[in-house]
Structure 1
Amino acid sequence: MANVQLEEITRQFENVLAIENITFEVPDGQFWVLVGPSGCGKSTILRTIAGLESVSNGNLYIGDVLVNHVPARQRDVAMVFQNYALYPHMTVAENLSFGLRMRKADKATIERQVEKVARSLDIFHLLDRKPKQLSGGQQQRVALGRAIAREPKVFLLDEPLSNLDAQLRDDTRVQLKQLHQQLGITTIYVTHDQVEAMTLADQIVVLDRGRIQQIGEPQAIYAKPANRMVAMFLGNPPMNVFRTIYTGEGFQVGGQFLPCPSELQIRLPLVPAQTVDLGIRPEYVEFTNPKGTEDAESRGELRMEVSVVEPLGRETLVRGCLPESEVLLDVVAPSDWRGHPGDRIGIQFDLNQLFAFDPTTGDALYP
């Protein structure tokens, strides 16, 4: 096992700066997830650690050894890609044992390791089959098993579950977490799926446009995002963020009035006519009554027009906007909520759950 340390790593492809000044350290045995939108540099970082991409600037260490110029085959890392890359002419057993055979491990060790890995991934009964005889989920488990069988210092996973259907993705995600708990191999996992990031990671690295936006434990990042991008990326449905104007007593939001919490007013000195982006997660917005009332504004209630209703079983996602404005909102309602597109209804924010962001830089201002 080994730690992985990146010191101001930059990778440039001709005129394209893929990643810039990437610095973090994954301690030995931890599971870190790199997450962010497409094109943010996640896979480039992973390929750089694996040795498939060279470092333009900076230093990369695996187990305290500088590996900038060490070939990929000598780094003792195992990588699993989005496509399974199994050898079609080999059986499952031969695919699992390939790395060990390349290392010239003895036959007894190979057989013992293949059986151990196959049983842990529930593919022992498939050892004599060829990849074309397997389902997508079974092929993915073989690809994972081939990497695990080598017992590498570092395990690198590049969106390994993205080709699986929803139920199989959930099942395999649980297996992955259990395997990491059993094996304790240092793991770096790339995904754009925030559910995978939140459920698997010891620490999350949020990336955007080749730069790190925030590093931290999943719940810490969810509770205190560093900026607007992180706030809107982590969370399903995403945080509602909208432009407001401070009036001295509260905020003008799409022509309606929202009171300013006293704590926000104290901690974030605002001046009248100042523009600020406010955010609130959909689970902290609730419906007050079906029709709204004339005194809604005085009670800090907003009026929303329903656009789409999405029943999700245990809850209902309601999407809408503030009438005659461009302010869009998502609300998580109880499963028995009944409403229809076109309805105008009252909504109430939990003012203790408001976020404030700089409208220019996107940096978090509050809390």
Structure 2
Amino acid sequence: MLVTSAHAGPQAEGAERTGTAALPEHALVGYLHTSFANGSGYTPLSEVPDSWDIIQLAFGEPTSTTSGDIRFELCPQSECPGVETEEEFKAAVAEKQAAGKKVQLSIGGQNGQVQLATTAARDKFVQSVSAIIDRYGLDGLDIDFEGHSLSLNTGDTDFRNPTTPVIVNLIDALKTLKARYGTDFGLTMAPETFFVQLGYQFYGSGKWGGQDPRAGSYLPVIHAMRDDLTMLHVQDYNSGPIMGLDNQYHHMGGSDFHIAMTDMLLTGFPVAGDPDKVFPPLKPSQVAIGMPASPYAGNGHTPPAEVTKALDCLHKGTSCGSYQPHGSWPQMRGLMTWSINWDRYSGYGFMRNFDSYYGS
């Protein structure tokens, strides 16, 4: 996710989290610039249209890369004229929940590097994230770790049994939070393709070293949390060419890229080409496609007609083009976008296309 700045401040006690309605069969997920401003303008939570089923509050960020101490504050008035007061924001959270929507805390983003290298950082992560969840009465957590947050130590070659502390501690922290808040607590993830689908070719530094240790590094986290994962919406943007299951490289910006990348998640794939280490498919209901809302929002914007083609292919097996997926999945969950703000800036074209396609 692309951001320009973010701010942090002290934690405070606040609202208690309550359970909310189940997700609809097909859901629209969007990130809301809550702690910072950029060229898209500030959008109060109360003004987010009802089409958005999960609103990801961007972003909670650490006090330092390795502290595990996550902070989240509303954008200051000087940067975001018209920003809500804390009480107005809490009221807006409750209003969205009453309407059957989910409001989650997204941690990380482009600027928020998080490395839980120690058990102390792991425990501080759990404590500080819980404080934010409780303060605002939020419905769940989104892990949007980018950059150098996750990488694999040399010799850590099996995604099913990770040994790297930043990976193991993150998994432990997420399991603790999920256990604390129960089955209604949402858990979503928004990795880049480099950390997921690239794992078909490369995993960590490789058996002989020399590769980028971040390659495929989300796979052990996704796999360990798959029974607790509400939704994975990989960022199909800001990406280089990625090899699909057809062993061809696919390029972002059209339906082909989304079809090939999503097919990998719903079919499964051998990690680093090893037939003995196959990443199992996720449930269709756990998978959504991440796209930029407009050309302003990120590289790899997909025109609405191409979005529709991708959905037709993955849901119905039609309009697939040159890449033929290994099935069709009517229950695939839907779409995610960066961001609600950028979609509003561009007249809500992304949202309207989603509503038109799914008949909302």
Larger-gyration structure (1/2): 1
Greater percentage in strand: 1
Whether the TM-score (by the shorter chain) exceeds 0.5 is no
- TM-score relative to the length of structure 2: 0.31
- TM-score relative to the length of structure 1: 0.30
